[in-house]
Amino acid sequence: MPIIAPSMLSADFLNLGRDVAMVNSSEADWLHLDVMDGRFVPNISYGLPLIRAMKQQATKPLDTHLMIVEPEKYFEDFAKAGADILTIHYEASTHLHRSIQAIRALGMKAGVALNPHTPVQLLEDILGDIDLVLIMSVNPGFGGQRFIPRSLEKIRVLKQMIRSRGLDTLIEVDGGVTLENAGGIVAAGADVLVAGNTVFGADDPAAMIKKLKAVGK
């Protein structure tokens, strides 16, 4: 069964405590937090104060995805705010290996995200040092976009790279994940599904999480 990480970017921010409580009591595994700075991506989301607030209520790991420039400036801040997993973009990190070591030294799991145009082969030298790879299956910055079909081949290639090295690195997929395409994404090799509108736009978000969790059974 896949790990399900509802994207809190699609939650109701006027009722955020209610939505965190729903995720707590659901079959979801993680809370996915998208941090955008308006520079690396053309949108601004939320930052440290909101993450600190969610940490107070969340009973599940905070899977924090930094879509920001110079992410290394803020590793310690996000660790203190309660991030359990910290994912940075390959495209935003000049010294990726150093950054991964710094994230792990702060007690967090480390992930690397790839934009749709970035080939997975570029991770060859870093794959053994990271806990997860986040495949962006839409162009980052906005929710509600359609899944890019080419992402499936990237997942397959990455899965083969991981298996051939005997690693247990997780593959996370974010963008356009629906109940209709989730089966194909998991079959391609994904371990973690990020779902925003699919979960929070559903009449019964907890029931939708349960259905996503059952994909690939």
User: Is 34 a residue of the active site?
Assistant: yes
What confidence category does residue 130 fall into, taking pLDDT thresholds of 50, 70 and 90? very high
DSSP string covering 162-174? HHHTT---EEEEE
Q: How confident is the model at residue 216 (pLDDT cuts 50, 70, 90)?
A: confident
SS3 category, 208: helix
Residues 151-190 have pLDDT tens digits of 999 999 999 999 999 999 999 999 999 999 999 999 999 9
Catalytic residue among 29, 37, 84, 174: 174
Q: Where are the domains of the chain?
A: 3-213
Is 129 known to be catalytic?
no
Given pLDDT bands bounded at 50, 70 and 90, which one contains residue 146? Answer: confident
The residue from 34, 63, 131, 191 that is catalytic is 34
pLDDT band at 141 (very low <50, low <70, confident <90, very high): low
List all residues 6 or more positions away from 68 whose beta carbon is below 8 Å from its beta carbon: 35, 36, 37, 39, 40, 74, 92
pLDDT in the model for residue 214: 95
Q: What is the pLDDT of residues 35-75, one digit of tens each?
A: 999 999 989 999 999 999 999 999 999 999 999 999 999 99
Q: What is the pLDDT of residue 140?
A: 73
Confidence class of residue 139 from pLDDT cuts 50, 70 and 90? confident
CA–CA separation, 191 vs 174, rounded Å? 11
Shortest CA distance to 130 belongs to which of 151, 108, 115? 108
- Domain 3-213: CATH class, spelled out: alpha beta
Nearest to 213 by CA among 193, 198, 184: 193
Q: What is the pLDDT at residue 112?
A: 98
